[in-house]
Amino acid sequence: MTEVSRTEKQVVGGGYHKPVCVACSRELRPEKNGIGILDMVRGKGYELWDADKWKCPACGIEVIGGFGQGPVRSHFEDRFAQLVDSYRERENLTEVHYD
């Protein structure tokens, strides 16, 4: 997806350490790439980020990490709503609420 290549991601194997589960002392494993994270402010989408889902092989805890250097789109940019919808249609969108 060319929209996503707009930001450099923290690629495992590119010098970044994998996330670690504190409770289990195990490295998390990549579970799914291309997760959309929608930051919500006062009930409205503010920024859309692309990230990865990680999972602990021992306890199963799931964490979203591997964010790019910046959002894929901000609310004031062209095609923001369409991009959000494309993640949502793939059941690949998690909203984060700050208020």
Q: Which residues bind Zn ion (CB under 5 A)?
A: 21, 23-24, 56, 58-59
Nearer to Zn ion, 54 or 80 (CB): 54
Nearest approach in angstroms of CB 21 to Zn ion is: 3
Give residue 78's region: left, alpha or beta (phi > 0; psi -120 to 50). Answer: beta
- Written as one letter, the residue type at 37 is I
Q: Which is nearer to Zn ion, 12 or 72 (CB)?
A: 12
CB 26, min distance to Zn ion, A: 6
- DSSP conformation class of 5: G
Phi (first) and psi of residue 89, to 5 degrees: -65, -30
